[in-house]
Amino acid sequence: MVTARRGADRLAIAVFVRAPAAGAAKTRLIPALGAAGAARLQRRLAVHALGVAQRAAIGPVVIWAAPDAEHRFFRAVQRHCVVGVHAQAGADLGERMAAAFAAQAGPLLLIGSDCPALQPAHLAVAARNLLDDGGKDAVFIPAEDGGYVLVGLRHPQPSLFQRVEWGSGSVMAQTRQRLAGLGLRWAELPRLWDVDRPEDLARMATLEGFAEWRR
């Protein structure tokens, strides 16, 4: 069980979410789903990620929104959930993640909204890796495509996210090199997968809660 902590040692959960705007969300799936269908999928995945973060019940949840925090989806979430919403800032994903960790200062788990297989139990295990006595400096859930679906840090490590080829299949491998070079201790949980390609849709449909996501 993960126990609550106070002050700078209190763990929080950051969720990176792109607004479900037609034509700007899940663009690689637009050929298969159409612009409106891809936006609906983005909304469904975002709702799932936020639900996972809240049900984990291990700390406050903050949305880091892209391209900004003004989309009606984010306003609707705030009406129904106790979450903070901030706009992502930075030239690339690494800078945006570094900014989110710097804003928290203490332990933080950061997830995206592309992984329908992510569950509260994954977050609980990741949190224990950071917070237990003798815990790690960092924890990851690698993604099958070579990236990762979760990164957690005990303290901000801005240089960890530098000189990484974001969007490539070597993100996790390059991150391991950065971790080793910085002398950080880290844990990796079993791999999960993102929904990025048309062939991922059939896999997603086998998961509870996603069989009828288009409705």
The string of pLDDT tens digits covering residues 150-178 is 999 999 999 999 999 999 999 999 999 99
10 or 109, greater pLDDT: 109
Structure tokens at 25: 């969300």
> Span 33-43, mean pLDDT?
96
Whole-number percent of the chain with pLDDT over 90: 87
**C-beta atoms surrounding 209 within 10 Å:** 12
Structure tokens at 80: 């129904």
- pLDDT band, residue 214 (cuts 50/70/90): low
pTM comes to: 0.93
Q: Measured between alpha carbons, how far is 106 from 129 in angstroms, rounded to an integer?
A: 14
- pLDDT band, residue 3 (cuts 50/70/90): very low
The string of pLDDT tens digits covering residues 42-96 is 999 999 999 999 999 999 999 999 999 999 999 999 998 889 999 999 999 999 9
Contacts of 64 (CB under 8 A, 6+ apart): 14, 15, 16, 17, 86, 87, 88, 96, 100
DSSP letters spanning the chain: -PPP--GGG--EEEEEEE---TTTSSGGGHHHHHHHHHHHHHHHHHHHHHHHHHHH-SS-EEEEEES-S-SHHHHHHHHHS--EEEE--SSSHHHHHHHHHHHH-S-EEEE-S--TT--HHHHHHHHHHHHSTT--SEEEEEBTTSSEEEEEESS--GGGGSS--TTSTTHHHHHHHHHHHHT--EEEPPPB----SHHHHHHHHTSTTTTTTT-
What domains does the chain contain, in order, with CATH numbers? Answer: 7-204 (3.90.550.10)
Q: Measured between alpha carbons, how far is 22 from 65 in angstroms, rounded to an integer?
A: 16
- pLDDT of 135 reads 87
Whole-number percent of the chain with pLDDT over 70: 94
- pLDDT band, residue 1 (cuts 50/70/90): very low
- pLDDT band, residue 134 (cuts 50/70/90): confident
